[in-house]
Amino acid sequence: MAHDNAQTAGIDWSDPHAFHHDPSGHHDEHDNLHPHVTPWQHLVFVLLALLFFTALTVFAANAEAWAVSMGVHITHFWNVVIAVSIAVVKASLVCMFFMHLKYDTPLNTMVLLTTLFVFGLFLMFTSIDLGKRGMVNPVKAQIIQPGGNGIGMVKGGGNLGANITTARKKQAIERLAATIAADHGRDTPNEEDLAEANKEFWFEFYHHKVEDHHGEIPPRHLDDTENIHAEWLAHHRRELDARRVSDASHSRPKHGLTPGLFDTEDPQDGREHDGGHGVEQNAHTGGADGEH
Amino acid sequence: MTAINTDKPVGESAGRKQMPWERYVQGHHWRNAEDEFDAAKFGMWLFLSTEILLFAGIFVGYAIMRMLHPQAFSNGSHYLDVRWGGLNTVVLLISSWTVAMAVRAAQLNQQKWLRVNLIITLICAIAFFSIKLGLEYIPKWSVGKRPGALFNYPFASDPYEPMWWSIYYTATGIHALHVLVGAGLLTWVLVRSFKGIYGPKNYAMVETSGLYWHLVDLIWIFLFPLLYLIH
């Protein structure tokens, strides 16, 4: 990099051989670019900083495991926040110096920031939707979990700390058992109840499979050991399918937007029909009470 | 102050043929060379914004699937080897630096350094792709760690691990595709640089191809922690 010493500092690099150099001082501005040339020392420094931050983020990821071995449990939240924050710092360095945004017209930076803003909206509204479904219908909330710990991948991983996932699954199974028991008017389901629920589930499962594919695809069996993955999926879906309700990861459509519209039995059967006026009357009465 | 010896004749009268970049003139519809250059760069940034939005869909998909099936994704990141991901990160960072140096060399008419930096970048691109394919894709695919319905790994411990592999192969696969496209662009720049096309008056192609390569690096900067580091 011999060009960078003080002797050559005054050279017009867009015309280093002075082809267009006019001794009279009339310089043709219209033909030349006047770029900002980043000093190579800056670029080397940025590269070293990027490598440093790469080492740091790997170190931070390992630190979680070390902390666990010393009895400190770093939550999954901080694991994510640290990793993504370091990535943002690295990306900013690349954008500012390697991509010259620091020295460019601000228009290019505006394009990038606008894009990132749209990305933020995309992520935010999707996350809010998924995270807050439980506020509308509690049964849709239980699948969303804060984080896994790779417990299935580590021998003796049961010592890693609170296994949230297992607790949630246990909770879901208990709720399912309670639902089955309630169907039979009991506090806890007995063997026959569970067997019946299981049979009911498989009937529904096969029925919908066959119906969806017009009978072209044969139903899968639990002893279809050649497709062990299909077996797992089917087994896992049992809990949710048995309840026949939508949750965060499976949508079970009803017939039409109006609940009960196509039901063969009147859902209000056995109750006194008010002809739809009851709600209005109650609301009116409530309002009148509030005024007094 | 200038180091050029003005006693000697300069320009065409020196008996030296001008290089192509020296003869470059901006399109007649541009007010000046700088307007043309800035417009080209702005156009490249607009294109890069659409690329960012393409990967935004993948990142949001990753976030949603991770929220729904954290155990599967936690298992999934344990399957990956941080050493190869880290090595690929270093390879891409170095290649990004050499591209920045190549742009600088073009700005300063250092033709030799322009080519050297571009060649190092292409070697890095080949290294990245070789590591990705030979040490990650092939060993994983061959034991059944495949996306979605192709999944055939007998020792998985979570039923949603196929979903993890779908996200993994989609994200890194589209990224690897961008590595190939970027390497193709830079190869084109390298070939043309041997003809002396790029220099201080004409380096928009070096700059915009470089921006594309930096974007590839940017995406990997986020993919690396999300896939390999977050358990």
On whether residue A104 sits in a domain, the answer given is yes
On whether residue B106 sits in a domain, the answer given is yes
On whether residue B25 sits in a domain, the answer given is no
Say yes or no: A126 and A59 in one domain: yes
Say yes or no: A133 and A201 in one domain: no
- Cβ–Cβ below 8 Å for B73 and A148: yes
Each residue's pLDDT tens digit, A69-105: 777 777 777 888 999 999 999 999 999 999 999 999 9
On whether residue A283 sits in a domain, the answer given is no
Say yes or no: A57 and A118 in one domain: yes
Each residue's pLDDT tens digit, A92-139: 999 999 999 999 999 999 999 999 999 999 999 988 887 776 666 555
pLDDT higher than 90, residue A58: yes
Looking at beta carbons, which residues of chain A come within 8 Å of B4? 11, 16-18, 21
Closest CA to A38 of B182, B97, B115, B35: B97
Say yes or no: A44 and A136 in one domain: yes
On whether residue A256 sits in a domain, the answer given is no
Chosen domain end from A77, A108, A140: A140
CATH of the domain at B137: 1.20.120.80
- Cβ–Cβ below 8 Å for B2 and A11: yes
> What is the least distance, in Å, from the CA of B193 to any CA of chain A?
17
Each residue's pLDDT tens digit, B145-155: 888 888 888 77
Looking at beta carbons, which residues of chain B come within 8 Å of A61? 82, 225, 229-231
* Cβ-contact A237, A202 below 8 angstroms: no
- Cβ–Cβ below 8 Å for A107 and B42: yes
Each residue's pLDDT tens digit, A233-291: 555 555 445 445 555 555 555 444 455 545 555 555 444 444 444 444 444 444 444 34
- Residues in contact with A104: Cβ distance below 8 Å, sequence separation at least 6, in sequence order: B41
> Which residue range forms the structural domain that includes residue A53?
40-140
User: Out of B16-30, B115-129, B182-196, B200-214, which region has the weakest mean confidence (pLDDT)?
Assistant: B16-30
User: What ipTM was estimated for this complex?
Assistant: 0.91
On whether residue A60 sits in a domain, the answer given is yes
| Structural domain count of chain A | 2
Find the mean pLDDT for residues B6-14: 48
Tell me the pLDDT band of B18, cut-offs 50, 70 and 90.
confident
Say yes or no: A58 and A135 in one domain: yes
DSSP string for chain A: -GGGSGGGTT--TTSTT-TT--TTS---GGG--------HHHHHHHHHHHHHHHHHHHHHHHHHHHHHHTT----HHHHHHHHHHHHHHHHHHIIIIIS-TTTS-HHHHHHHHHHHHHHHHHHHHHHHHHHTHHHH-GGGTTT--S----TTTSTTGGGGS--HHHHHHHHHHHHHHHHHHHHTT-SS--HHHHHHHHHHHHHHHHHHHHHHTTT-SPPP-TT-TT-HHHHHHHHHHHHHHHHT---SS-----SSSSTTTT-SS-TTTTS---TT-HHHHHHHHHHHHHH-
Say yes or no: A127 and A180 in one domain: no
Tokens 């019946």 — which residue? A196
- Cβ–Cβ below 8 Å for B71 and A152: yes
On whether residue A8 sits in a domain, the answer given is no
Say yes or no: A70 and A130 in one domain: yes
On whether residue B22 sits in a domain, the answer given is no
Each residue's pLDDT tens digit, A173-219: 677 778 888 888 888 878 787 777 776 666 655 555 444 544 444 44
- Cβ–Cβ below 8 Å for B42 and A76: no
pLDDT at B207: 96
Looking at beta carbons, which residues of chain A come within 8 Å of B110? 3
Give Cα B140 to chain centroid, integer Å.
24
> What is the least distance, in Å, from the CA of B222 to any CA of chain A?
6
Each residue's pLDDT tens digit, A37-52: 999 999 999 999 999 9
- Cβ–Cβ below 8 Å for B108 and A79: no
* Cβ-contact B70, A165 below 8 angstroms: yes
Contact status of A74 with chain B (Cβ, < 8 Å)? no
Looking at beta carbons, which residues of chain A come within 8 Å of B10? 17-19, 21
Q: Which of B70, B82, B109 sits opposite A147 (nearest CB)?
A: B70
pLDDT at A192: 80
Say yes or no: A106 and A65 in one domain: yes
pLDDT at A20: 57
pLDDT higher than 90, residue B137: yes
> Which residue range forms the structural domain that includes residue B164?
34-229
User: Out of A25-34, A142-151, B115-124, which region has the weakest mean confidence (pLDDT)?
Assistant: A142-151
pLDDT higher than 90, residue B60: yes
pLDDT at B28: 85
Say yes or no: A47 and A118 in one domain: yes
Contact status of A61 with chain B (Cβ, < 8 Å)? yes
On whether residue A227 sits in a domain, the answer given is yes
On whether residue B196 sits in a domain, the answer given is yes
Looking at beta carbons, which residues of chain B come within 8 Å of A99? 210-211, 214
On whether residue B145 sits in a domain, the answer given is yes
| Structural domain count of chain B | 1
pLDDT at A292: 40
- Residues in contact with B121: Cβ distance below 8 Å, sequence separation at least 6, in sequence order: B95, B98, B99, B102, B186, B213
On whether residue A194 sits in a domain, the answer given is yes
On whether residue B20 sits in a domain, the answer given is no
Looking at beta carbons, which residues of chain B come within 8 Å of A87? 221-222, 224-225
On whether residue A226 sits in a domain, the answer given is yes
Say yes or no: A117 and A76 in one domain: yes
Say yes or no: A133 and A65 in one domain: yes
Say yes or no: A47 and A130 in one domain: yes
On whether residue B8 sits in a domain, the answer given is no
Tell me the pLDDT band of B202, cut-offs 50, 70 and 90.
very high
The one-letter code for the residue type at A233 is L
Find the mean pLDDT for residues B73-85: 90
User: Out of A69-78, A147-156, B24-33, B174-183, which region has the weakest mean confidence (pLDDT)?
Assistant: A147-156
In this structure, the number of other CB atoms found within 10 A of the CB of residue B212 comes to: 18
